[in-house]
Structure 1
Amino acid sequence: MARPLTRRAGVLFAAGMAGVLAAGGGYAASATGPAPRTLSAASPDQLTAALALARPGDRVEVADGAYDAGPIRVGRSGTAAAPITITAASPGQARFTGAGGLDLTGASHVVVQGFVFANDAGLTVPGDAKGDRVTRNVFQGNPGKADLTVKADDTEVDHNTFENRTEAGVFLQVVGPGEKDMAQRVHVHHNYFYNHQFKGTNGGESIRFGLSGRQHADAQGKIEYNLFEKADGDSEAISVKSSHNVVRYNTIVNSRGTLSMRHGWNSRVEGNILIGGTTGIRFFGNNHVVVNNVVTDTAGTAMEFGGGEVRDDTTSGTNHDAADHCLVAFNTLSGTGALISYGSGKPFPPSDDTLADNILLGKGAAAAKGTGTSSHFTGNILFGSPAGTLPSDAYRTVDPKLAKDAHGLPRPAASSPAIGKATGSFPQVTLDIDQQARPSAKDVGADQYDKATPARPLTKADVGPDAP
């Protein structure tokens, strides 16, 4: 959950021509240290002066206008309990343009809130700026390689809008210090990614979480409750290139970009909703768990078990690593193309993967193409399409009796033959897409039948600067 930002009462600073002055000439001390203050700035010079004075718990308010000089050095740190907050006085009315921006080098426990980044370099959270928060800003597709770059541990990126990029580059990239490391415990949530329209063949992801050379670094990142719309700048809307991450409860609509475990091992993909376009889920590398997702009405491949140019990568190169020992279970997949794809013709097919208790609702095309090796199947329901390359014992053919709810999600009717018919126990799956507990007799597909249906696709009202 996002940490609430409360306005701290304190001694109001007045910004003068010579700098930033304390009202009354000082501040009141308390038993736990100096009282927090509000500092005001209405120009780049005044903002520089205010930041040089900031202490833990202080709030620096930036007046409306365009700030094109800089980047302005922050240089001061707060604490986990008392961060320094740098905020637009009026959300969305203080804009960094041209060479303007903020330099967060060495500035830990700092909150950046309410700005528009329409500048050349976007914003970077360096590796030595730990525990920072970037919240309720708008990033407007700047011409740099990324609108926001995160290199530091324990960074929180929430309730921002990333919009309208037409050039190569990503909206948000998470990397780390050095050449091989990943930032740890980065939390990306409740952001709105809109209209990435770069027309090249590569390099236009909405989120890139890692890099090829960092793929085996243990990131422990969390990407959740984000909305992606018109994510067309790349074949990947979410591109994970690191290990041990959780990607859950995101919505991707009307996009060509997929949710992709492009590199790395041991990630969990759960409860995501992907609707329309050519989007889907694909994964490479070992030991991923892909459960409780809904991919509906896609014209692309709904679920791809990736083949590789290598198996069990040891070089952290750019080659695809075949998907081995992965579990794909309790998903609901529908569309006009192949619902399942194995290998994509690469030299090393996926191996020792499990497809279990999924609903595969096709619309004419063969349900599966390609084959893995040593694959495992149980409890799947197939309806509406020929099996393609699925072996005959991989599924049963029966109408799952799904009907779309008010939000367009396919839900089982009370008479659905999916109810209580899952054949695998799978202790990795204790909830359904609605985050309702699954009993011992689990239903097939993403939704455990219940008249209460709290899960729905995210909308603009749920994400971005104006969301709760």
Structure 2
Amino acid sequence: MTSLSALQSAIDKAAPGDEIRLADGSYSAGSAIAIKRSGTANAPITITAEHVGKAEINGSTGFSFSSGASHVVLRGFKLRHGGSLSVPVGSTHNRLTRLDVQLTGGGNWVTLNGDDTEFDRNVLQNRTTQGVFLQVLGPAKDMAKRVHVHHNHFSNHGFTGANGGESIRFGLSHHQKYKAGGIVEYNLFEKADGDSEAISVKSSDNVIRYNTIRDSRGFLVLRHGDRSVVEGNILLGRSGIRFHGNDHKIVNNYVHTTANRGIVFGSGNEADSGPDSKLHDRPDRVVVAYNTVVGTTDVVHGDGGDFKPKDCVLANNVLQGTGKLVSMPGGSVVKYEGNIAWGGPAGMPSGYRSVDPKLVRDGLYRLSSGSPAVDAGVGSYPHAGTDFDLQKRSGKYDVGADELLPGGARNALTKADVGPLTTTVR
């Protein structure tokens, strides 16, 4: 296709298995490019740029999914138009892939409301206005189910206001009790400075794993919701992990912070949030285990608040810094066991050894041969059974995010690993 009118005509007639290509060039859309047809699981409809990044959509608007349009792949476009892009409730099993998104309007640039949406290998970049790059939501009284967000590059959100500039917002406060079952993995966040939360999770039962956040003030934050897993993420520079809510697992993460707080037991303004509360929920029964946190002081911190962390666990972490390592407010109920604290006062009443973990830096800090962390894990934490190099632990686990095994060579993600031009398949 060489015009938007021809593209729209082809989309309107599309049948399962069809692939519709738009030629390289710049196209101005004065009205929405409507996607109303559906493919099937084995024969999706594919709407694609002829070459990735070479067909640019500008003007006042862009693609628009109609409710019920399912099994559609939208691929390879450079989006420079106004308005936003959304997948509505009722549109399922769609894939948005290899898009270059830098819209000219405000608000939330991309919103995923449909179940089983895949959002992968896109770049969202360069904004200074309030609003999020990517929002996952769903019906008014539920969450979109099983949304998979992976191998994307979120870059340069420079909004300078106090709130409302997240890179990803997964839910909203009044959606916090709904189970989403989403997976956010293998994404790179750089200069995520539009909000103190680069990833803001406000729903339940999600997995946030294997992402890299670097050179950003935004943290990975479980802001609302319960029972999520934060695993194997790499956070470098000013970023860290903060959580509220109940029954989370924070395991096998690597945090090297230059701004003190690496892992934060979030402040509690209430004991347990109701379904519509916007207050900060006290952390209850959260397990923080087998992480490596390197910083200066307060590498593990409790914010305080009227409601202190309750029945939480800090176990088998390597904590290394130059000042006090753990600062938990009085009245917190935390079980400490198996931790290694090195470089400053531990700040824990028990459950630690002050010994040099013998970390060596090979891109990231890992254990060296002869480290006292080897085979030193205590207690049973089977959910930490894969270390941050994605290697299976066995026997007695090594303390920290790294299991001393041959072949461990994972590093932080770079632009070569994510985004529209990455050569990784699927």
Which runs of 5 or more residues in structure 2 are unaligned?
none
Q: CA deviation at 1:68?
A: 2.0
Does 2:364 match 1:402? no
What is residue 252 of structure 2 aligned with on the other side? 292
Does 2:14 match 1:54? yes
Correspondent of 2:56 among 95, 99, 117? 95
Give the letter aligned to residue 361 of structure 1: Q
Correspondent of 1:323 among 239, 264, 283? 283
Q: Give me the whole-angstrom Cα distance separating, in 2, the residues matched to 1:434 and 1:341.
A: 25
SS state of the match for residue 11, structure 2? Answer: helix
Question: What TM-score, normalized by structure 2, do the two folds share?
Answer: 0.96
What is residue 107 of structure 1 aligned with on the other side? 69
Q: CA deviation at 1:129?
A: 1.2
Q: Give me the whole-angstrom Cα distance separating, in 2, the residues matched to 1:58 and 1:300.
A: 53
What is residue 332 of structure 1 aligned with on the other side? 292
What is residue 34 of structure 1 aligned with on the other side? none
Does 2:302 match 1:347? no
Correspondent of 2:39 among 73, 78, 87? 78
Does 2:261 match 1:301? yes
Give the letter aligned to residue 4 of structure 2: P
Q: Give me the whole-angstrom Cα distance separating, in 2, the residues matched to 1:172 and 1:321.
A: 24
Could you tell me whether the CA contact under 8 Å between 1:77 and 1:84 is conserved in 2?
Answer: yes
Correspondent of 1:261 among 222, 241, 257? 222
What is residue 176 of structure 1 aligned with on the other side? 138
Q: CA deviation at 1:426?
A: 1.3
Q: Give me the whole-angstrom Cα distance separating, in 2, the residues matched to 1:141 and 1:256.
A: 23
Q: Highest CA radius of gyration, 1 or 2?
A: 1
Correspondent of 2:346 among 387, 398, 415? 387
Q: CA deviation at 1:181?
A: 0.9
Q: Give me the whole-angstrom Cα distance separating, in 2, the residues matched to 1:247 and 1:181.
A: 20
Q: CA deviation at 1:203?
A: 0.4
1:424-435 paired onto structure 2 within 5 Å: 424-435=379-390
Correspondent of 2:79 among 117, 138, 146? 117
Give the letter aligned to residue 380 of structure 1: N
Q: Give me the whole-angstrom Cα distance separating, in 2, the residues matched to 1:51 and 1:184.
A: 26
Give the letter aligned to residue 375 of structure 1: V
Could you tell me whether the CA contact under 8 Å between 2:300 and 2:325 is conserved in 1?
Answer: no
SS state of the match for residue 383, structure 2? Answer: coil
- The CA deviation string for residues 282-329 of structure 1, in whole angstroms up to 9 with x for no partner, is 100000000000001331410111121111222321111111001000
Does 2:331 match 1:376? no
- The CA deviation string for residues 13-47 of structure 1, in whole angstroms up to 9 with x for no partner, is xxxxxxxxxxxxxxxxxxxxxxxxxxxx2222112
Q: Give me the whole-angstrom Cα distance separating, in 2, the residues matched to 1:120 and 1:433.
A: 40
Could you tell me whether the CA contact under 8 Å between 1:67 and 1:94 is conserved in 2?
Answer: no
Does 2:122 match 1:163? no
Could you tell me whether the CA contact under 8 Å between 2:266 and 2:304 is conserved in 1?
Answer: no
1:155-304 paired onto structure 2 within 5 Å: 155-177=117-139, 179-276=140-237, 278-304=238-264
Q: Give me the whole-angstrom Cα distance separating, in 2, the residues matched to 1:148 and 1:95.
A: 17
Which runs of 5 or more residues in structure 1 are unaligned?
1-40
Aligned residues: 421
Q: 1:269 to 1:302 in 2, by over 3 A?
A: same
Could you tell me whether the CA contact under 8 Å between 1:280 and 1:298 is conserved in 2?
Answer: no
Q: CA deviation at 1:83?
A: 0.5
Could you tell me whether the CA contact under 8 Å between 2:269 and 2:306 is conserved in 1?
Answer: yes
- The CA deviation string for residues 377-400 of structure 1, in whole angstroms up to 9 with x for no partner, is 100000011234x21x13110110
What is residue 27 of structure 2 aligned with on the other side? 66
Q: CA deviation at 1:429?
A: 1.9
Q: Give me the whole-angstrom Cα distance separating, in 1, the residues matched to 2:117 and 2:275.
A: 28
What is residue 459 of structure 1 aligned with on the other side? 414
What is residue 133 of structure 1 aligned with on the other side? 95
Could you tell me whether the CA contact under 8 Å between 1:330 and 1:358 is conserved in 2?
Answer: yes
Q: CA deviation at 1:280?
A: 0.3
SS state of the match for residue 146, structure 1? Answer: coil
Q: CA deviation at 1:141?
A: 4.6
Give the letter aligned to residue 247 of structure 2: N
Q: CA deviation at 1:438?
A: 1.1
Could you tell me whether the CA contact under 8 Å between 1:145 and 1:168 is conserved in 2?
Answer: yes
Q: 1:70 to 1:372 in 2, by over 3 A?
A: farther
Q: CA deviation at 1:93?
A: 1.9
- The CA deviation string for residues 255-300 of structure 1, in whole angstroms up to 9 with x for no partner, is 1100000000000000000011x21001000000000000013314
Could you tell me whether the CA contact under 8 Å between 2:52 and 2:421 is conserved in 1?
Answer: no
SS state of the match for residue 130, structure 2? Answer: coil
- The CA deviation string for residues 58-96 of structure 1, in whole angstroms up to 9 with x for no partner, is 011112222322211111011111110011112212222
Q: Give me the whole-angstrom Cα distance separating, in 1, the residues matched to 2:143 and 2:331.
A: 31
What is residue 376 of structure 2 aligned with on the other side? 421
What is residue 448 of structure 1 aligned with on the other side? 403
Correspondent of 1:360 among 312, 316, 319? 319
Could you tell me whether the CA contact under 8 Å between 2:294 and 2:320 is conserved in 1?
Answer: yes
Give the letter aligned to residue 44 of structure 1: L
Could you tell me whether the CA contact under 8 Å between 2:324 and 2:346 is conserved in 1?
Answer: no
Q: Give me the whole-angstrom Cα distance separating, in 1, the residues matched to 2:22 and 2:155.
A: 26
Q: Give me the whole-angstrom Cα distance separating, in 2, the residues matched to 1:371 and 1:164.
A: 42
Question: What TM-score, normalized by structure 1, do the two folds share?
Answer: 0.88
Q: Give me the whole-angstrom Cα distance separating, in 2, the residues matched to 1:228 and 1:142.
A: 21
Q: CA deviation at 1:365?
A: 4.6
Q: Give me the whole-angstrom Cα distance separating, in 1, the residues matched to 2:326 and 2:305.
A: 20
What is residue 411 of structure 1 aligned with on the other side? 366
Higher relative contact order (CA 8 A, sep 6+): 2
